[in-house]
């Protein structure tokens, strides 16, 4: 009898807790209570709705319904009093003038348990700016803003969103922990400069899965201080591939550790999986425990690449060795076609040669002739199938 009573009591408590959670959840629709209208600038309405949702107790969601809306520069700050979401079902369009945005169009700052979702589109409106800034020639796009910044988010999810035609990076992660990005579409023309799909730095516990990226630069770029990052089921192309780096350009960079890239597909990209560091590094650094596995390449210029001589636009002293130490790297079960003869290129630093690099199950055919493997300042371990043949 006592057991039955205890079970009934526990069940009742769970039910009451569930009812309380539902009661504490609220929807903040920008069009119903905050005056947002299609084709108008909804920055104020969205900011006001966020302030109310963030201040309220419980789990709350700000909603942007279907429709097309203009949106000037906005910041969504935390911390909030409970879990909070932004559900974008419509299309948000950025101003054409990058001077109105400075470093970023949309910023999410210091939020715990945040969700961005809704199936909508974030249109960075970059077409009018790319041709005016010449960064494809100079490498300098400093005046162009990132579409969306996620700064110091924890325990959060970004899902079911399309980022279109960013002026610079699509998504930038800084200081984030335990963040998942899934079911995203990231699109910009192949000729758009510096439009990295996802860039991260000084972040840990990041998972990126089931994402389609087509850009004019890296599909995903991983900067210093990134640790415990898992990238899986990403389709990349066109673009410059998935890159660890570039590293070593600045003072006091933090180590990169524990990066895993699996089950990804590269289509007509400039690079596949790449680790890149600058020569003439101002300080030493570390990139270790890096794993690439079960990857398909189709007409990729440089499918497997370690480039410690990365020096675009002549911005460095290329003859001075990189000080970034690369170690514990595996390339496994990578197959497909290379658009150039060097299907595997491991160009390590003569100052700090790569250590413990292994390749197994590599099957890459060149569309221009016999595939080659090139190795400098590294003694890689080869096992299993290896096409091209192992470098000496």
CATH number of the domain that residue 100 is part of: 2.160.20.10
* 213 vs 221: CA distance, rounded Å: 12
φ/ψ of 94, rounded to 5, equals -80, 155
Q: How confident is the model at residue 2 (pLDDT cuts 50, 70, 90)?
A: very low
240 is catalytic: yes
Q: Has residue 382 been placed in a domain?
A: yes
Q: Has residue 210 been placed in a domain?
A: no
More confident residue, 280 or 201: 201
Same domain, 236 and 380: yes
| Segment 185-204 mean pLDDT | 97
More confident residue, 42 or 33: 42
Q: Give the number of C-alpha atoms closer than 13 A to the C-alpha of residue 372, restricted to the C-beta side.
A: 9
Q: How confident is the model at residue 24 (pLDDT cuts 50, 70, 90)?
A: confident
Contact 331, 301 (CB under 8 A): no
The reported pTM is: 0.92
Same domain, 224 and 170: no
**15 exposure class (CB count in 10 Å sphere: 0-12, 13-18, 19+):** exposed
Catalytic residue among 133, 170, 240, 291: 240
| Segment 334-349 mean pLDDT | 97
pLDDT digits (tens, 9 = 90+) for 40-96: 999 999 999 999 999 999 999 999 999 999 999 999 999 999 999 999 999 999 999
Please give the tally of structural domains in the chain.
Answer: 2
Same domain, 117 and 248: no
Helices H, strands E: what count in the chain?
4, 28
- Please, what is the average pLDDT of the chain? 92
Final residue of a domain: which of 126, 159, 177? Answer: 177
| Segment 180-206 mean pLDDT | 97
- The residues facing 122 across adjacent strands are 92, 163
Q: Has residue 193 been placed in a domain?
A: no
Q: Has residue 200 been placed in a domain?
A: no
Question: What tokens does 37 get?
Answer: 């209208």
Same domain, 235 and 373: yes
Question: What tokens does 22 get?
Answer: 């539902």
Final residue of a domain: which of 154, 177, 200? Answer: 177
Residue 27 has pLDDT above 90, yes or no: yes
Question: What tokens does 299 get?
Answer: 């007409």
Q: What is the pLDDT of residue 140?
A: 57
Give the least confident one: 23-32, 283-292, 358-367. 23-32
Residues ≥6 apart with Cβ < 8 Å to 78: 54, 84, 108, 109, 110, 111, 112, 114
Q: What is the pLDDT of residue 312?
A: 83
* 308 vs 353: CA distance, rounded Å: 10
Q: Characterize the bridge pairing of strands 271-277 and 242-247.
A: parallel
Measured CA to CA in angstroms, residue 202 lies from 218, 224, 234, 253 at distances of 18, 6, 22, 9
Contact 378, 388 (CB under 8 A): no
Q: Give the number of C-alpha atoms closer than 13 A to the C-alpha of residue 197, restricted to the C-beta side.
A: 29
| Segment 5-24 mean pLDDT | 43
Same domain, 227 and 339: yes
Q: Has residue 205 been placed in a domain?
A: no
Residue 16 has pLDDT above 50, yes or no: no
**SS3 category, 251:** coil
Residue 341 has pLDDT above 80, yes or no: yes
Q: Has residue 51 been placed in a domain?
A: yes
Same domain, 271 and 328: yes
Q: What is the pLDDT of residue 21?
A: 43
Contact 134, 157 (CB under 8 A): no
Residue 324 has pLDDT above 90, yes or no: yes
| Per-position b or e across 353-369, b if 16+ CB within 10 A of its CB | bbeebebbbbbbebeee
Same domain, 161 and 237: no
* 90 vs 264: CA distance, rounded Å: 29
Provide the residue range defining the domain that includes 103: 26-136+144-177
Residue 13 has pLDDT above 50, yes or no: no
Same domain, 383 and 253: yes
Residue 244 has pLDDT above 70, yes or no: yes
* 24 vs 32: CA distance, rounded Å: 20
Same domain, 256 and 332: yes
Instruction: Please name the helix (run of DSSP H) or strand (run of DSSP E) that holds residue 6, with its range, or none.
Output: helix 2-23
Residues ≥6 apart with Cβ < 8 Å to 88: 64, 116, 117, 118, 119, 120, 121, 122, 161
Same domain, 336 and 223: yes
Q: Has residue 10 been placed in a domain?
A: no
| Segment 158-182 mean pLDDT | 98
Residue 227 has pLDDT above 80, yes or no: yes
Same domain, 95 and 239: no
| Segment 172-196 mean pLDDT | 97
Measured CA to CA in angstroms, residue 384 lies from 225, 262, 358, 359, 360 at distances of 33, 19, 11, 9, 5
Measured CA to CA in angstroms, residue 246 lies from 221, 306, 308, 327, 329 at distances of 8, 11, 9, 16, 16
φ/ψ of 304, rounded to 5, equals -125, 120
Q: What is the pLDDT of residue 12?
A: 43
Q: What is the pLDDT of residue 314?
A: 72
* 91 vs 39: CA distance, rounded Å: 10
Q: Has residue 196 been placed in a domain?
A: no
Residue 240 has pLDDT above 60, yes or no: yes
Same domain, 224 and 359: yes
């Amino acid at each position: 009898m006592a057991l039955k009573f205890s079970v009934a009591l526990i069940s009742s408590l769970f039910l009451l807790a569930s009812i309380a959670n539902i009661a504490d959840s609220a929807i903040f629709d920008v069009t119903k209570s905050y005056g947002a209208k299609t084709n108008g600038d909804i920055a104020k309405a969205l900011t006001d709705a966020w302030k109310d949702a963030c201040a309220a107790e419980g789990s709350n969601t700000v909603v942007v319904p279907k429709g097309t809306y203009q949106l000037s520069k906005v910041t969504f700050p935390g911390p909030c009093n409970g879990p909070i979401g932004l559900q974008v079902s419509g299309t948000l369009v950025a101003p054409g003038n990058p001077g109105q945005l400075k470093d970023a169009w949309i910023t999410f700052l210091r939020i715990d348990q945040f969700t961005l979702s809704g199936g909508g589109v974030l249109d960075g409106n970059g077409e009018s700016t790319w041709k005016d800034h010449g960064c494809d020639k100079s490498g300098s796009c400093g005046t162009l803003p990132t579409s969306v910044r996620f700064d110091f988010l924890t325990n959060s999810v970004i899902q079911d969103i399309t980022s279109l035609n960013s002026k610079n990076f699509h998504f930038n992660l800084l200081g984030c922990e335990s963040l998942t990005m899934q079911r995203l579409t990231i699109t910009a023309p192949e000729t758009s400069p510096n439009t990295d799909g996802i860039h991260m730095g000084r972040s840990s516990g990041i998972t990126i899965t089931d994402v389609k990226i087509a850009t004019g630069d890296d599909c995903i770029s991983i900067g210093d201080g990134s640790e415990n990052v898992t990238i899986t089921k990403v389709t990349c192309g066109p673009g410059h591939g998935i890159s660890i780096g570039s590293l070593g350009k600045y003072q006091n960079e933090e180590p990169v550790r524990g990066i895993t890239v699996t089950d990804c597909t590269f289509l007509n990209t400039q690079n596949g999986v790449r680790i890149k560091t600058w020569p003439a590094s101002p300080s030493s650094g570390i990139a270790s425990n890096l794993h690439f596995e079960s990857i398909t390449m189709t007409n990729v210029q440089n499918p497997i690449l370690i480039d410690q001589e990365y020096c675009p636009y002549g911005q460095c002293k290329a003859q001075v060795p990189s000080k970034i130490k690369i170690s514990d790297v595996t390339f496994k079960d990578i197959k497909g076609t290379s658009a150039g003869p060097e299907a595997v290129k491991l160009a390590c630093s003569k100052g700090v040669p790569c250590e413990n690099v292994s390749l197994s199950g590599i099957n890459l055919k060149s569309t221009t002739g016999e595939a080659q493997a090139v190795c400098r300042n590294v003694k890689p371990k080869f096992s299993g199938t290896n096409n091209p043949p192992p470098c000496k």
